[in-house]
Amino acid sequence: MLEEATNVMMAKKAPNPTDKHVGARVRMRRMMLSMSQEKLGDALGLTFQQVQKYEKGANRIGASRLQQIGHILQVPVSFFFEGAPGQTGDGFAEAPSPAYVSDFLATSDGLALTKAFMGIKDPKLRRRIVDLVQQIAADDDA
């Protein structure tokens, strides 16, 4: 019985989906500002490893710390919960984007592509690029 309890206590617990979502939003916003984990950690008085744990959802971010992160990253606390799993709308918020969009924007490639794409002023050129990428993706599926 004691051995069973010890095994249960030693098993790694999966991060809470909301904690993972909040962490991913912290990462996405930090990357949007081209800020390193080390720089965010310094501003918070933490190590970059602690920032990594927050961003992965391995460690839960407390309310006051989340408010501090929001201030540093120049977003309201509500930003971190937009599109969170299990979130019920109040009728005023816009529909959350699909999870794959948040996941894509949380990558360095996704963020770089989005920034570059938004820098293209000609809407017809942007449309042609979207068509091209869709065609390439369709060819990969075949």
Convert 55-89 to b/e letters by CB count within 10 Å (16 or more is b). Answer: bebbbebeeeebebbbebbebeeebbbbbbeeeee
Q: What superfamily in CATH does domain 2-96 come from?
A: lambda repressor-like DNA-binding domains (1.10.260.40)
Give the length of the chain. Answer: 142
pTM: 0.64
For residues 117-135, give the mean pLDDT: 89
The arithmetic mean of pLDDT across residues 2-10, rounded, is: 52
Task: Scan for tokens 């918070």, then name that residue.
Answer: 44
| pLDDT tens sequence across 48-91 | 999 999 999 999 999 999 999 999 999 999 989 888 887 555 54
Residue 14 is given by DSSP the state P
| pLDDT > 70 in the chain, percent | 80
